[in-house]
Amino acid sequence: MALSPIERLPVELIQPIFLLSGPNLALPLVSHHIAAKLSDDYIYHTVCAEYLTANQHPRAEQSINQSRIFSAQWMTWDFFKVFLVKTYEGNGCLCGKSPEEGCFDAQWPPEWKDATKMVFSRSHLPELSWVKCRIPAKLLHGPWTSDKIQFLRFLLWITPMTVDWADAEVRKTALEGKKEAIMEKNLEVVEMFNHNRRLGKTPGLPMVRFAIMEAGCDRSLVYDIMATARAWGLRSVGWECAELDAWCNDRIEAGDPKGKWLQLKLQELRAQEGPASNDAANSGSRSGGVMSPDTGQYDGGEDDQLVINKHKWNQVSQTISSFNVQVVIFWWSYLTAPVGNVLRFMHLRCRRSTGFFQLLAPLMECPWTLGSFQ
């Protein structure tokens, strides 16, 4: 098939036309010939600067183009790091501001290997935090290289990007990616899937069975999966499973210490502990048991160690949960207590959380500032 007039244009003309078009990212998608002529680092950096660090387009168009950028073959972890350095090194922080412009806690150089070591807050956000698009499918499956893991963790930490759950193929890719990580015994990836709801549902008993019976029961992976399932509601009788019991018995008979260890963990989770609260006592319900990392421990050598990591993802969730509890308690007090008691309550809470009163004050149309109560 003969090339169209625009496809026959030289690079020196195609590239300026592309940039003047928006740049319109649909242009390289309609023709491999045009895409080849636009394959240039200058073009890539210009496109990223236009759609990732500026908000000059309608929201829907911006989001679509951001998704296209991260899905592109040229968008690799190495390229992305170079782009960030070129864009933000001048100001010395991923927030894009200098100290004179309001940056008060510079995060530089970026923590490439583990982005969760970087500290941001509502008053000091990275400029990419407003990027709202889809996590590319290429980052959701194995082989799980160190570059892919670092790239995915970085995007999860500094952007609100999510998986396109409306796409059946992407859903399948994400599920298979988690199973691939379990089969590869990659604890880093499994922890990301377990502790980030943007990467899928919480693990349940089927995933626990898969990790034990099909993936070899890596204790670190299994413990994290079981602990996450328990934290998100799988309690007591929900852990009853004849297949797992049979697996434990078989391993015990074979002299494998994993069998006894797993049997003990299941017994701990099946235990009926509690009541955990007055409401639970009144209703007669009990909270499920909790695993102990110390019980049943044994030295299995380098290939069979129990590793338990603390996650920044969990710390964020606990902060949000604590904040939500404070909000509920405040409004209950506001509706049921005299004004004087409410103000005293506000004073006590504000001394613990600066942002708490600052959020509630406009809701109450209250003119006071936090300083009035200190």
pLDDT at residue 213, rounded to an integer: 94
Alpha helices in the chain (DSSP H): 11-20, 27-30, 32-37, 41-52, 59-71, 77-88, 146-158, 168-183, 187-195, 205-209, 219-231, 242-253, 257-270, 278-283, 312-336, 339-352, 354-363
Contact 318/304 with Cβ under 8 angstroms? no
Q: Across the chain, which distance is largest between two alpha carbons, in Å?
A: 82
Domain end, chosen from 133, 168, 201, is at: 201
Assigned domain for 55 exists: yes
Question: Do 150 and 222 sit in the same domain of this protein?
Answer: no
Question: Do 343 and 305 sit in the same domain of this protein?
Answer: no
Give pLDDT tens digits for 59-101: 899 999 999 999 999 999 999 999 999 999 988 889 888 888 8
Question: Do 61 and 103 sit in the same domain of this protein?
Answer: no
pLDDT at residue 17, rounded to an integer: 93
Question: Do 34 and 7 sit in the same domain of this protein?
Answer: yes
Instruction: Provide DSSP, 200-225.
Output: -PPP-HHHHHIIIIIS---HHHHHHH
Question: Do 236 and 277 sit in the same domain of this protein?
Answer: yes
Question: Do 115 and 190 sit in the same domain of this protein?
Answer: yes
pLDDT at residue 318, rounded to an integer: 43
Assigned domain for 277 exists: yes
Residue scoring higher pLDDT (373 or 349): 349
Distance CA 239, CA 270 (A): 6
Question: Do 171 and 269 sit in the same domain of this protein?
Answer: no
pLDDT at residue 303, rounded to an integer: 85
Question: Do 19 and 36 sit in the same domain of this protein?
Answer: yes
221-226-230 Cα angle (round to 5): 150
Assigned domain for 182 exists: yes
Give pLDDT tens digits for 320-360: 444 444 544 544 555 555 554 544 444 444 444 434 333 43
Mean pLDDT across 191-207 = 92
Provide the residue range defining the domain that includes 364.
Answer: 312-373
Instruction: Provide DSSP, 232-266.
Output: TT--GGGG--HHHHHHHHHHHHTT-HHHHHHHHHH
Domain end, chosen from 47, 75, 103, is at: 75
Q: How many domains, the chain?
A: 4
Domain end, chosen from 201, 228, 256, is at: 201
pLDDT at residue 56, rounded to an integer: 79
Mean pLDDT across 54-61 = 84
Residue 162 has pLDDT above 90, yes or no: yes
Assigned domain for 81 exists: no
Distance CA 20, CA 5 (A): 18
pLDDT at residue 335, rounded to an integer: 54
Query: What mean pLDDT is reported for the chain?
Result: 81
pLDDT at residue 106, rounded to an integer: 86
Assigned domain for 21 exists: yes
Assigned domain for 84 exists: no
Assigned domain for 80 exists: no
Give pLDDT tens digits for 166-186: 999 999 999 999 999 999 999
Question: Do 128 and 107 sit in the same domain of this protein?
Answer: yes
Give pLDDT tens digits for 274-325: 444 444 434 444 456 888 888 988 888 888 888 888 877 755 444 444 444 4
Local confidence band at 3 (pLDDT 50, 70, 90 cut-offs): confident
Question: Do 70 and 117 sit in the same domain of this protein?
Answer: no
Give pLDDT tens digits for 244-284: 999 999 999 999 999 999 999 999 998 876 444 444 434 44
Local confidence band at 371 (pLDDT 50, 70, 90 cut-offs): very low
Question: Do 269 and 345 sit in the same domain of this protein?
Answer: no
Assigned domain for 196 exists: yes
Question: Do 109 and 190 sit in the same domain of this protein?
Answer: yes
Give pLDDT tens digits for 105-161: 888 989 999 999 888 888 888 888 888 999 999 999 989 999 999 999 999 999 999
